[in-house]
Amino acid sequence: MTKSYRTVSLNAAMALAGILPLDLRIREAASLYEAKREERRVSERLLGDREMDGRVPYCARPHPAGRLCLRFTSLVDRDDLERNNTQAVRIFTDGSKIDGKAELLALDRAVSLAAKRPEASIGIYTDSRSSLESVVGRNSFHPLVSNIRDNLRVCHTQNKELSLFWVKAHAGLEGNERADELAIEAALGLKKKPDYDRCPVSFDKRLLREESLDEWDRMYKSDETAGTTKVFLPDVRFAHKVVKTIDLNVVLTQVLTGHGGFAEYLHRFRGKRIRDCPQHDATREDLQQELRVRLCRGSLPSILGGASGREALLKFASRVARVAIARNRAVDTDV
């Protein structure tokens, strides 16, 4: 994966591969499992006094024979809206994004209201296609989606004709624009406890991954190995950011690890008598003028972090490495 020598330390190899250490991966998976089971010590550590979104168990869903065949209609402009304006009551919803569950909650409240209304024909309009796709699909086990389906089933047993519509946002449709205005007013001026503040599982995963990365970074920096790699990649987050943008090859891996056909490495592991390599001073000065940065141990991470100087630096390092490898292979036959 990293195309490195087998003498490369695990610390350096993991950083170049961008793979979370196995023990941290196991700990992360165990914590996520405990958080899903709502164990207090994990939930409080991650979320404080907030709760995590649950998952409706499969056994709690209705029998396949009793499931409704749901669909929604897409309305792009005012003409489409007028052609489908046949309901006695029309309910428009608006929220932020599916990530915050505002649209799903608005749709849930709208369907719940429709189940309580006496009218036999009701239309619900939303500009969140993802929410509608979650409801009409069969793969979502989110509690809000399950509750919406239950209320739709109630409307069906009441012989109500409830239609779901997707409307294009900011298309000048009066009902949608008014719902958008009310949503903004409520978000800015309404002082109350949130109607829904459960955290999605993805939020817990992100928090756990941040904890794992912090611990990995601590292990990476405190370990005495991977000294050469740390010169280029001082922390694991920076390493992942850089490595995913470059094409690692055998020579470049030798440069980033210091393990390869270099005199110092051969002196350490294979008894080479001379440990010095050519300095390539003239080429180095040309590169410094091109990058407008003095090449030293402290400047390497900042150069690698910028897209403009990264390619020039890596080309220079690869060129020097190839010359050094060829020279050490040809000149010293005692290794």
Domain range annotation of the chain: 10-19+224-331, 58-187
Percentage of the chain lying above the pLDDT 90 cut: 25
If you average pLDDT over every residue of the chain, what do you get?
81
| Maximum pairwise Cα distance, the chain | 96
| Cβ pair 194, 105 in contact under 8 A | no
Alpha helices in the chain (DSSP H): 10-17, 22-36, 40-47, 78-83, 102-116, 129-136, 143-157, 174-189, 201-222, 227-232, 236-243, 250-257, 263-269, 281-291, 300-305, 307-331
Q: Span 141-164, mean pLDDT?
A: 90
Q: What is the pLDDT of residue 109?
A: 92
The neighbouring-strand residues paired with 225 are none
Give the pLDDT band of residue 294 (cuts 50, 70, 90).
Answer: low
| Cβ pair 94, 127 in contact under 8 A | yes
Q: What CA–CA distance (Å, rounded) separates 89 from 123? A: 6
Reference 167, options 126, 110, 124; nearest CA is: 126
Q: What CA–CA distance (Å, rounded) separates 90 from 294? A: 68
Buried b (16+ CB within 10 A) or exposed e, 320-334: bbeebbeebeeeeee
Reference 232, options 241, 19, 212; nearest CA is: 241
Give the pLDDT band of residue 335 (cuts 50, 70, 90).
Answer: very low
Q: Span 46-71, mean pLDDT?
A: 78
Reference 262, options 176, 335, 210; nearest CA is: 335
Grouping H, G, I as helix, E, B as strand and the rest as coil, residue 238 is helix
- Give domain 58-187's CATH number out of 1.10.3470, 3.30.420, 1.20.140, 1.10.357: 3.30.420
CA 30, chain centre distance (Å): 20
Give the pLDDT band of residue 334 (cuts 50, 70, 90).
Answer: very low
Quick one: residue 172, left, alpha or beta (phi over 0 = left, psi -120 to 50 = alpha)? left
Mean pLDDT lowest for which of 13-17, 106-110, 177-181?
Answer: 177-181
Q: What CA–CA distance (Å, rounded) separates 143 from 5? A: 51
Reference 150, options 56, 86, 73, 87; nearest CA is: 56
Q: Per-residue pLDDT for 28 more than 80?
A: yes
Q: What CA–CA distance (Å, rounded) separates 260 from 234? A: 21
Q: For 303, list phi and psi in degrees, rounded to 5.
A: -70, -45
